[in-house]
Each structure stands twice: as C-alpha cells, then as structure tokens.
C-alpha cells in the first residue's frame, strides 16, 4: 500500500495531540502514514502529490469556518482540495473543508456536540461496509455541513446533524462529521471505517 498523507488542520499547538492520535490510529488500522500541515499543502504540485500517495486524510480542527479570520486562514487550502485526484477522507473539520471546497455550506450547529453519539447509516457504501445500521462514534464539533455540495450523497445522519457523512457520486471522496479515530473497546465502528478507507478505497 502507498503512503497515506495525513493533513493537520489544527491551528493551536495545544491541539496537536489530537493530530498525533489520528496518525497513530491510522497506523493501527494498517496505514502507512506521512504528514503535512494544511498551510503547506497548497504549495505542493498536485500532480506529484497524486503520484506519491495512495490517499489523503484530513484531520479535524478547532478553527471555525464561520469565523472570518479562520475562513481566511484556510482559503488557499480549501481552494486546493479539488486539485487532489486520489481518495480523500475528511474528518470533522476536514469534512467541512471538503464541503466548502466543492460548493456546500457550513454553519454553526444548534449547540456544541461532544461525546459518543448514535449515527444512522443511510448508504452503506464502501466506506461504511460491514457496519450495522446504527453505530456509536465520538462527536466533537460546533459547526456542521448544512448543505451538501453538488454531486455528493448523504451516507449518514444523526439527531444532531443531518449530514454526518457524505460521499461524491463518482470520485472516492468521503467526509464524516464524527471522529472515527476515537474508537474505544465498547465503540469499535470508527476502526472499521478507517480500515475500510485504507483497505478498500486507498489506491494500491
């Protein structure tokens, strides 16, 4: 398997442990991970990126896209995302960044969501293969995807967020509002999701 490029979207250094956990969990799920900061990604030639890696994972972020300063900070990164021509999995803030990059909308959630929640799977495609209709996963967000981008399908929903998961109709691009990397002994669905991305979707 080619390396997976894991992109760090966290801004404040105190959140870097969250990124390290994501990288470690990708390795636990069988991935060979390289890393990049989101600020430096737009400086990389996308044709080289597409030839060097089998897929890309976008981390969560504490930044808020509805905040002007944060949206400006991520503008070049969001503009760059459609140039990536290999499988992508966006997690939480990465999910929202993908929605913005492809023409969707992000808005503040009705309330902050934190903790394990029940998610309903509407389209058990490749990313969600082998999972039951309802799963328990970790949520940690203050914003959500309000409107899916054109050519994206909803694959998961919950009482907190209508668009808990999405996928592109033709391309291997996926986003989930929750944090699959934060699985535990009682809630293993996140591990299955990462394994599905790495083993079924990432290019060999």
* Rounded-to-integer distance, Cα 76 and Cα 199, Å: 30
pLDDT for res 110: 76
Whichever domain contains 169, its CATH number is 3.40.50.880
What is the number of domains present in the chain? Answer: 1
Q: Which two tokens stand for residue 11?
A: 């801004």
Q: Which two tokens stand for residue 164?
A: 């808990």
- Grade residue 114 by pLDDT with cuts at 50, 70 and 90: confident
* C-alpha angle 145-141-181 in degrees, rounded to nearest 5: 100
Residue 168 has pLDDT above 90, yes or no: yes
For 175, the domain range is 4-201
DSSP-derived 3-state class of residue 100: helix
- Grade residue 29 by pLDDT with cuts at 50, 70 and 90: very high
| Percentage of the chain modeled with pLDDT above 90 | 85
Residues annotated as catalytic are 92, 179, 181
């Amino acid at each position: 398997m080619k390396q997976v490029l894991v992109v760090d979207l966290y801004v404040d250094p105190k959140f870097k442990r969250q990124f390290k956990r994501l990288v470690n969990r990708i390795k636990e799920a069988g991935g060979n991970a390289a890393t990049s900061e989101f600020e430096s990604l737009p400086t990389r030639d996308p044709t080289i990126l597409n030839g060097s890696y089998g897929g890309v994972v976008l981390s969560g972020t504490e930044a808020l896209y509805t905040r002007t300063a944060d949206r400006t900070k991520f503008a070049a990164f969001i503009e760059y995302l459609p140039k990536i021509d290999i499988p992508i999995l966006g997690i939480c803030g990465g999910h929202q960044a993908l929605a913005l990059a492809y023409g969707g909308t992000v808005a503040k959630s009705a309330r902050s969501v934190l903790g394990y929640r029940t998610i309903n799977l509407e389209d058990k495609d490749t990313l969600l293969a082998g999972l039951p209709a309802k799963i328990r996963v970790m949520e940690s967000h203050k914003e959500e995807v309000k409107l899916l981008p054109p050519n994206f399908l909803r694959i998961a929903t919950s009482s907190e967020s209508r668009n808990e998961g999405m996928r592109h109709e033709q391309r291997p691009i996926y986003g989930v509002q929750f944090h699959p990397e934060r699985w535990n002994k009682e809630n293993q669905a996140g591990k299955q999701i990462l394994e599905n991305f790495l083993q079924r979707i990432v290019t060999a």
